[in-house]
Structure 1
Amino acid sequence: MLKLAWFVPSPMEGSGGHRTIFQNINALASEGYDCDIYIEDDNSYLNLKEMKSSINKYFGDIKANLFLGFNTEVKYDAVFATAWHTAKAVRDIPYQTKKFYFVQDFEAYFNPMGDGYLLAENSYKYDLTPITIGKWLSNLMVEKYNTASSYFDFCADHTVYKRLPEKTREKAICFIYQPEKPRRCSIIGIEALGIVKHLMPEVKIYLYGSKNKTNVWFEHTNLELISVEECNNLYNKCSVGLCISSSNPSRIPFEMMAAGLPVVDIYRENNLYDMPDGGVKLADQTPESIASALISILTNDEHIDQMSRFGVNYMKDKTLEHGYKQFTDAVKKIISNEDFELKAYPKSYNQEPIIADAFTKKIRPVYTDNGKSPEKVKDLLRKIKNKVKKIIK
């Protein structure tokens, strides 16, 4: 039996990245690998027992041995890094072993340009073998670092995320709101929702995904952290989901599509290689453009139905088991001394971005249809921007 080790950052409640790591470790264990997980000792836990209890509570049963700290006492056939600061620890292992890099984000984007950015970027130059979630990161490994990699698709748990025919859709938006994660662009998302709420006051706004609260000036419901089953119920009662991710796609839009929920995200390079042409609208990164994309869906019931059907059909074959097989096959290939192909992938999203400028005629028809003059819109945007500045301060 081959022994594998994983170096994992200290997990927190609700972490989708840790959920993905532990799910794929379980998939390897099911294939007969003996897995050990070394959790970063960052003083989050008093002892090993407390750490194990927290992980079990947040993420369920994991088919692996858990250790606190990155000090290994045995030799492994392969070792996985799972974040930029764990990559150096894997690089520096002194004995001969296969060294993998489980990449879920371009983590340099988590930091402003400087030491943090450059140190994170350096982790892709350590001669570890990347396996990425999604094609964009694999492309990045090839184009920027000349490193061959493999990927697995964004998938969804079909036992959880599915259409519930008995649910009636509300005129509502759900937004994955995580102000503690800059890559989720919570300020831009809230500003966009403020525009929608002003122009369509009947629309309900649901925030979820974090215990952190802030001063949101319009009427809304903050559900905070909810279970995956509650997420599926939310996706089935809303008309559109907003999920902004700027460092790789999130798994959330794909789970939304599996539940039949139309999705809005931003039109940036990181979203163009894994998002499909239907089921999703990608908007320019301005609040006005995001608001325009949301309104265009909310005001067209036929389009909601079309996007919903497309999303369910698109995700039909993208089960968790499909992703696990892609991942475990990639691991087997490298352990068997085969090499990944140095290969780039084409874009999967080929639509034009939705671009709106509140001060030009491009977005005026949307506002005028709702009885708002351009002058009132300008005044609204000034007020919103002033409130956002106060929140930032």
Structure 2
Amino acid sequence: MGGRSSLQREIFSMSATMKEGFALCGAAASVFREIPRQFGRRTRQISHIVATTGFQGVICRARFKASDWIRPREPVWPVVPDDIIAADLSQPFCARVPEIDREAPITVNWVTGPAGRGSGGHTTLYRIVKQLQNSGYLNRVYLYDPYAGDPKYYQGLAREHYGLTCEIGDIRDGMKDADALVATSWPTAYAVFNARCAGKRFYFVQDYEPYFYPVGTNSVLAENTYRMGFHGITAGRWLAEKLAREFGMQSDYFPFGCDTALYRRDPASKRSGVAFYARVGTPRRAVELGLLALELFAKRQPQIELHLFGERFDNLPFRVTNHGLVSPQRLNEIYNRCFAGLSLSLTNVSLVPQEMLASGCLPVVNDAVQNRIVLDNSYVRYAPLTPHLLAAALESVVSMPDFASVSKKASESVAPTSWNMAGAAVDRAFRVALRQAL
């Protein structure tokens, strides 16, 4: 019995090994059969891409696949995770609000992410900071950087490029007591919520940031910051109304400003083009739709020059002058060469339409409630957000028989607009809210 049992075990073992071998051979045969099939598939795909977009299209797709392959699978957080864990919204810290001394300046701690050159949000924020400083405020800027950048570099950039002269520190070193403590983006709101220094909590809101992300963790984390009990100061009325309606958040707003000394209409300018503000890194500006509209427009009006600014683009199916990121002075020159400018926004409106108006360039903007509320200007041309209708709106501007007269009136319509008005509105919001907090 024992011998037969041993022999049976050997037979069973050999049988299992043979089955595994057959399975491996079958799998290998399957792989080898798949190779020519996949090779044929990829060859046909590459041929199709070359036929439709050229070799540049193949290179673009290869770069996209390579970038996806090397992308880390763990999330890169735009906020320090420990700050999220520490922020228990059910138990907010009751900060002391100092009594305002009429003889002393109002002290404000601004918490902001570090900025590179050309950041529109930081440009507006730092303009307001400088306006308040001119009104006697004592400002401190604290950099919040979850990516562990070099604070000295960004401090230098804030001074050299944005012209800040106030104290600039690293939030990791702690914050001094102040009259007001201001979050300026959703990641910084967590740091402000968790801070233990004195000062009434404010939230400087320039856009509805949950819209910056697909529905998911980041959009929820951003939305939760509107439930932190801060007093909002928003860029334009649309945000103030939205935050009050959806979150019960008390807010004041400031009007969009425009540097009309820099952006101005040149009566001697020869206009021959259309401009488009395009940056792929800001999806809320609907760049792809704008480029499709320009492609249609270029076919209908081939004599009109096209100008792109904000970012350089390759392999476009129409002739265009790529300006990339330009200085404000250069931007004013571009506006003065154009009849119309395309400026799209799926969230809060950008500063671009006001600048275009000041330069006598008529902005074509997607028709949306936030754009109509904030701009509130009869010389803006609104169009539904489809390539054909946007292209038609551009055509209607370039074919206007009385363009020079309309251009002049458009420029005059924003002449009273200034950042002094915006700064004064923020000053009032601080003073009223601080008095009410006592």
**TM-score when scaled to structure 2?**
0.73
Quick one: which of 147, 152, 158 aligns to 1:55? Answer: 158
> Conserved in 2, the CA contact under 8 Å of 1:29 and 1:63?
no
Equivalent position SS for 2:436? coil
Which residue identity does 1:203 align to in structure 2?
I
Quick one: which of 426, 429, 433 aligns to 1:327? Answer: 426
- Counterpart Cα distance in 1 of 2:369 and 2:172: 34
Quick one: which of 383, 390, 401 aligns to 1:301? Answer: 401
Equivalent position SS for 2:161? helix
Equivalent position SS for 1:337? helix
> Conserved in 2, the CA contact under 8 Å of 1:22 and 1:62?
yes
Asked if 1:120 is matched to 2:222, the reply is yes
> Conserved in 2, the CA contact under 8 Å of 1:40 and 1:68?
yes
Quick one: which of 246, 264, 267 aligns to 2:364? Answer: 264
Q: Which residue number corresponds to residue 7 of structure 1?
A: 111
- Counterpart Cα distance in 2 of 1:160 and 1:188: 30
| CA distance 1:270–1:299, shift in 2 (3 Å) | same
Q: CA deviation at 1:326?
A: 1.1
Q: CA deviation at 1:83?
A: 0.4
- Counterpart Cα distance in 2 of 1:176 and 1:70: 36
Quick one: which of 60, 76, 83 aligns to 2:178? Answer: 76
- Counterpart Cα distance in 2 of 1:102 and 1:47: 22
- Counterpart Cα distance in 1 of 2:122 and 2:175: 24
Q: Which residue number corresponds to residue 84 of structure 2?
A: none
Name structure 1 gaps, 5 residues minimum: 340-393
Q: Which residue number corresponds to residue 319 of structure 2?
A: 219
Aligned counterparts, 1:187-266, within 5 A: 187-210=288-311, 212-266=312-366
Equivalent position SS for 2:215? coil
Q: Which residue number corresponds to residue 281 of structure 2?
A: 180
> Conserved in 2, the CA contact under 8 Å of 1:14 and 1:58?
no
Name structure 2 gaps, 5 residues minimum: 1-104
- Counterpart Cα distance in 2 of 1:239 and 1:222: 17
Larger Rg computed on CA atoms:
2
Deviations 1:213-267 (A, max 9, x none): 3432211011001111111111111000111111101111011111111010111
| CA distance 1:58–1:96, shift in 2 (3 Å) | closer
Which residue identity does 1:148 align to in structure 2?
Q
Equivalent position SS for 1:336? helix
Q: Which structure: greater helix fraction?
A: 2
> Conserved in 1, the CA contact under 8 Å of 2:232 and 2:252?
yes
Q: Which residue number corresponds to residue 379 of structure 2?
A: 279
Asked if 1:153 is matched to 2:255, the reply is yes
| CA distance 1:214–1:336, shift in 2 (3 Å) | farther
| CA distance 1:47–1:127, shift in 2 (3 Å) | closer
Equivalent position SS for 1:301? coil
Q: Which residue number corresponds to residue 46 of structure 1?
A: 150
Equivalent position SS for 2:341? strand
- Counterpart Cα distance in 2 of 1:231 and 1:13: 15
Asked if 1:67 is matched to 2:169, the reply is yes
- Counterpart Cα distance in 1 of 2:309 and 2:110: 30
- Counterpart Cα distance in 2 of 1:97 and 1:180: 35
Q: Which residue number corresponds to residue 16 of structure 1?
A: 120
Which residue identity does 2:119 align to in structure 1?
S
What is the number of residues matched between the two proteins?
Answer: 334
